[in-house]
Amino acid sequence: MSRGAQRTTRALTDQQLAQQNQLISQSDQQGQQDRSLMMPTITSLLQPGLHAAAAVRHHFDALRQRAANRLAATNNSAGYGDTLAQLGREQAQTDASQAQQNQIAFANQQLKEQLAGLNALGQTYGIDTNLLGKAMGVPAQLLSVRQRASGSSGSGLGSMFGLGSGIASLFG
């Protein structure tokens, strides 16, 4: 290869590398913007569960501290181990119940967002939402129920089935 051809090849390679670096930089910036837009939503979804878990932990820590203070004041360890074991069992049950409630809330939110997205696509582009629903795994019956329920005052999964707040009782 001649020196002129080498310079041309090097210049074209440098130009292509600069364009790729610019695209990567733009992609990184877009990703950062997307994350900054999504973080408040993610945080708001997690907040109730995190606050409830912190409150439960604080409550049981206070009860353990009270049992330790009673042990220190009386210098009598009778029942201290049993008290701690009972507190541990109660905390595990409370944590499990809170985790179950969080899962239900997340599932309801996911379904709500899927249906809202399907509805928006259907209205914007005139797309058959039943077809999209099948592609996303949302039953067609649920789509029509959602449209009928959108005029009602209830909210959440239970109102779509006409069950109101009773849907939560199915899960514990």
Give 3-13 pLDDT, tens digit per residue.
Answer: 888 889 989 89
Residue 151: is its pLDDT beyond 60?
A: no
Measure CA 6 to chain center: 54
Residue 157: is its pLDDT beyond 70?
A: no
Residue 154: is its pLDDT beyond 60?
A: no
Half-sphere exposure of 144 (CA within 13 A, CB side): 4
> Do 129 and 122 touch, CB atoms closer than 8 A?
yes
Residues 6+ apart with CB under 8 A from 76: none
Residue 164: is its pLDDT beyond 60?
A: no
In the prediction, which pLDDT does 158 show?
42
Residue 150 or 52, more confident: 52
Q: Give the H or E element holding residue 66.
A: helix 3-74
In the prediction, which pLDDT does 126 show?
75
pLDDT above 90 covers a percentage of the chain that reads 4
User: How far is it, in rounded angstroms, from Cα 167 to Cα 163?
Assistant: 6
In the prediction, which pLDDT does 90 show?
92
Q: Is the pTM of this model over 0.75?
A: no
Residue 118: is its pLDDT beyond 80?
A: no
- DSSP structure string for 21-54: HHHHHHHHHHHHHHHHHHHHHHHHHHHHHHHHHH
Residue 102: is its pLDDT beyond 70?
A: yes
> Do 171 and 108 touch, CB atoms closer than 8 A?
no
Residues 6+ apart with CB under 8 A from 127: 121
User: How far is it, in rounded angstroms, from Cα 134 to Cα 111?
Assistant: 14
Confidence grade of residue 129 (pLDDT, cut at 50, 70, 90) = low
Q: What is the mean pLDDT of residues 128-149?
A: 66
Computed over every residue of the chain, the mean pLDDT equals 76
